[in-house]
Amino acid sequence: MRTFESFIGNFDGKAWSDDIYDKLISAIRDDRAALPEIAHWILATPGRHFNLLADLIPHLTEAEFAALAEDAVQRLANDEDSDDVRKCIERASLQIPQALRPHLALLGEQDDLYRSAFAWRASDQGGADALAATVAEECEQADCERLMETGNAAAIRRAYERLSPDGRADLAYWALMHDVELVDGEARPLTLGRCHHLQFDTERPSYAKWLDELRSLHPTLRLRSAEDVTGLAGGKTEAPCGLCGGEVAVFLRLREAPPGFAVSARPLTLAVCVACLTDYAGGPIVPLFYDHRSGEPVTLNPTGQQRTPEIRWLPMPVSRMRASPTPPRWEVQDDGLANSRENLHRLGGRPTWVQEADYPNCPTCTRRMPFLAQLSCELPVGPGADSGLNEDGLTYFFWCDACQLSAVTEQYT
Ligand SMILES: [Zn+2]
Ligand SMILES: [Zn+2]
């Protein structure tokens, strides 16, 4: 029986059979050509399809996904709205904004489409100009967010110059939520270099086999190119934590940042005292700051006070890791939509905020620190061990190159 027929044969109009994820995984592995047909069928067939469409989309080619997104947009326009239609458009806004360019006017009328502002990265000059005029008239959140995502500095400046002081403050706030610092109307992205995905030699398994398999098949965990930069993860820094005396865990050690990064540290070592970062009982210290001037991160402790965290964590064993340049499709990710399936270990590019964007200021020069890297909890740890990083969130690293300082924060659901 063809994969498509065996797939829909499981659907009785109410529920899928228990082995539907096994079938999806074998289709991804052995019959990828069946996936577009299944995806269009899910869009066209009313019913509850759980997360299947979302789990299938990463395995469509960009052209196949663009055709599916077109199908979804037409259904939205024809009042055939459904969860699956929305899931498809939300993911297209993140992964293939260019496919939505002809439909930005239609999407603009849908204020409740999650993350759809990212589709405006594909906006043309006319679209950015029109948005700037709208924002200058009435500084609404959705339009401000879309204007920021156009990345059109001239249009952003034009809107800024026509706004009242209150409007300018609102626009600057929404700029920050979209990883842009707005200073006197000038838009500065809070990024340090091109997005790379970090891949570790081993991954900590989760609890469900099908979820581990879906994750291991995800394109963001299978990146490899001639431009990959290799390094080490694990171990601890020479100096103990200056706040608690415990071990400062190293999560990434590269000879230097990948080419094009505004990061001069050599080596580039990202480390944090997990006990101090996550000591919820004693009140975590966020952000934690590390001085990299000696080449090794050293904890800043401006007050000189010592603390005793309730739990201490063993650093991960030393293993190899790679930083691979991220294809455009995965440059923007969303923690909720990733749903534990995607690789969210990222270096450079924009962060994946779990909550509102929150950029720390450098304690030395007071400037806002751009984003450097983020880690999720799926890291190589010893048997029975745990990295200690928050399982329901992400850990973020920021960098001030002038002062050679890193800052570490976390956000969780
Ligand atoms: Zn500590
Ligand atoms: Zn600084």
- Which pLDDT score, from 0 to 100, does residue 49 have? 79
pLDDT (0 to 100) of residue 385: 75
pTM score: 0.95
Predicted confidence (pLDDT) per residue in 324-364, tens digit: 999 999 999 999 999 999 999 999 999 999 999 999 999 99
Q: Quote the ligand 2 centre to 373 CA distance (angstroms).
A: 17
Among 92-106, 162-176, 211-225, 300-314, the minimum mean pLDDT is found in 300-314
Which tokens go with 79?
């009042």
Cα of 4 vs centre of ligand 2, distance in Å, is 57
Closest by Cα among 265, 264, 233 to 251: 233
Ligand 1: centre distance to CA 289 (Å): 11
**pLDDT higher than 80, residue 237:** yes
Buried b (16+ CB within 10 A) or exposed e, 105-126: eebbeeeebbbbbbbbbbbeee
Please, which pLDDT band fits residue 15 given cuts at 50, 70 and 90?
A: low
Q: Which of 253, 266, 228 is nearest to 316 (CA)?
A: 253
The ligand minimizing its distance to the Cα of 400 is: 2
Handedness of CA 296, 297, 299, 300 (dihedral sign): positive
Which amino acid is located at 374 in the chain?
Q
Q: For residue 397, how far is its CA from the centre of ligand 1 (angstroms)?
A: 16
Angle formed at CA 10 by CA 8 and CA 13, multiple of 5 degrees:
80
Contact 180, 298 (CB under 8 A): no
Residues with CB under 5 A from ligand 2 (ion): 362, 364-365, 400, 402-403
